[in-house]
Structure formats: structure tokens, C-alpha cells
Chain A
Amino acid sequence: MDEEYINSFVEAFYTILPSFGIEELKITNLEVKENMFSNEEVTAVVGLTGSVRGNIAYSFSEDSAKKFASAMMMGMLIEEVDEDARSAISELSNLITGRGCKILSNNEVFTDFTTPTFIIGKNIYFLISTVKTLAINVETTAGAMQVNIGLEL
């Protein structure tokens, strides 16, 4: 997978997350995998079409999903990952993907993306790409987020 694609999305984390008060971003792990195993409870998947096709999956533990949703909703207390919380995380994944695509378009790579679909549950084995999946773990003040990027290039 081309460095340019990964850097665009990493740059998007650093732009979007702090604008909601989610600070101190640290990439703790970065690895290439054949498939994706998620032990996290909440995953939002956004699809990309256009010059680049693929999926980006944003995974959170239940606890960090609540904290990320709360940050998106001006600090409102979130007690469970309900429709409102999912809507907030959906918006966050849209913003990050949108920003990543915008950065890519500066380099003449034009993409469009789809509405996020949520998958909620534990011990889930995913296959999000027929090629390889890049997993990025990001630690923040709102908890951890795992981003899996599977692009067909």
C-alpha cells in the first residue's frame, strides 16, 4: 500500500480529532495483516469508491466509543452506545475519511465514500480487503481507536 494513502488518513486524524478536544494523539502500533481481528465492541466501516477502492474500519472499545461520542457531543454524558452515540461516531468517521479523501484529491486521486455501517459485538473476525489490511492503533485522551485500512491498489 502506498505511503501517500496512509499518510493522508494519518494526517486526517491529527486534524479532525483535536478539533473535538481529543488530544495527545500517539500512534502506538502500525502493522500489515492478512485479515482483521477485532476484539473491540464497536466498529464503523466506511467504503471508498473512485480511483481507490476499499474500506476503512474504525474500531473502539465500548468505553472509548462512549468517550469519543461524548467529545463529539460537546461533553454530554453517554451511558450506552445507542443510536445517538452511533450517529456521533458515524459523523467522526465521516469527517476523518472525508478529510483523508480531500488530502488525496490534492494529489489528483479522486474518491467518493459511503455512509458508515456499524458492527457491534465481541470477538469478531473481519475480512475487509482481498489484499492486505493496514492496522493503525491510536491512543488519545478519549481512549484508543484502531483504524484498519484495506485498499485495493
Chain B
Amino acid sequence: MNKEFIQPFVNGVRNVLKKIASVDVKTNEESFEENSEIKSKGVTSIISYSGKINGRFLIDMNSETAISLTRRITGRTYDTAKEPMVLSTVSELNNIIAGDGLTDINNKFSMGLRLVPPIVFTGDNALICLDKIPSESVNINTEYGDIRINIAFERSPEVSG
């Protein structure tokens, strides 16, 4: 996959976490190809987009990271990741990050991509499958734990300039 379609999302995570939660992120920015089955760390939010090509972006973290980030943002404490505020926060973070990333891609490559509202879930050993569509992940470290982002496009986008 063209790296120019991955970088906007990495920048999105960095900017949004800094702005909303004052959290600094560390990443080597290296992306690696994923299998068609991705094992959820605990809390996962998925956002799909359609336009010239279809695809989806996901953000995945363990329950403790989701709870800590939500506490950091809302200033309240939570017992489990099943609490609606924790799920909504992860979902909204994903919405803003994906919005940021896609705006960048749309501006650069005129892709006309439009976001679907995010879904978010938490559960025991959930598997996420997007068969036959290549996807790449980037690991991101924060002081609250690791976050994985994964970017998928139905076919490699042609850069139209």
C-alpha cells in the first residue's frame, strides 16, 4: 500500500491525542501487513469510508488503555471498558482521527472519501475479519499503553495528484 495513505492517519493519532488528551505518542512509523484476521486487544473502533475506493480504518487498544485515556479526557473514573462513556470516547477519538486523516488524503489526491459513523466494541477475544482486502498496521506507544491502527483500502489507491 502506498505509504502516503498511511501517514495521514499516523499524523492524525499524534495530533488528536496531543490536542484532546495532552498525550504524547511514540512510533517508529513503520507499517506492516496484517492477516485478514485481526485479534482485538480489547476495545476496537472501526470506521469505514466510501468514495473512489472503499476501505476502513480501525483503532485498537486494550481495556486498561481505553479506560485510562477516557479518564484523562473526561476527568472521571471508570470500572470497565463496557461503560458507555469509555466506548463513546474511543469511538469519538476514532471519528476525529479518521476525519483528520481522510481530509488530508482527499485534499492531496481528490479521492472524495466519505466517512461512515464509527462503530466500537469490546468483548472476549474478538476477531475482526476483512477478507481479501489488504491492510497495514502501525503500532503506537503512549504512556497509557499501546495503540494499534490498521488501514485498509480495497485496492491500492492510484495517486491522481
Contact residues of A with B, CB < 8 Å? 34-35, 45, 47-50, 53-55, 57, 83, 86-87, 90, 112-115, 117-130, 150, 152
In the assembly, what is the distance between CA of A80 and CA of B54, in Å?
28
Contact residues of B with A, CB < 8 Å? 36, 40, 46-50, 54, 56, 82, 84, 87-88, 91, 114-117, 119-133, 154
A49-B119 in contact (CB<8A): no
Main secondary structure of the interface of B (DSSP, over half): strand
Residue of A90, A120, A127 near B91 (CB, 8 A) is A127
Given known contacts A49-B50, A125-B82, A118 and B56 CB-to-CB distance under 8 angstroms: no
Residue of B46, B88, B129 near A86 (CB, 8 A) is B129
Min CB gap A107→B, angstroms? 21
In the assembly, what is the distance between CA of A125 and CA of B116, in Å?
19
In the assembly, what is the distance between CA of A44 and CA of B132, in Å?
15
Min CB gap A150→B, angstroms? 8
In the assembly, what is the distance between CA of A121 and CA of B43, in Å?
13
Given known contacts A54-B117, A126-B120, A34 and B84 CB-to-CB distance under 8 angstroms: yes
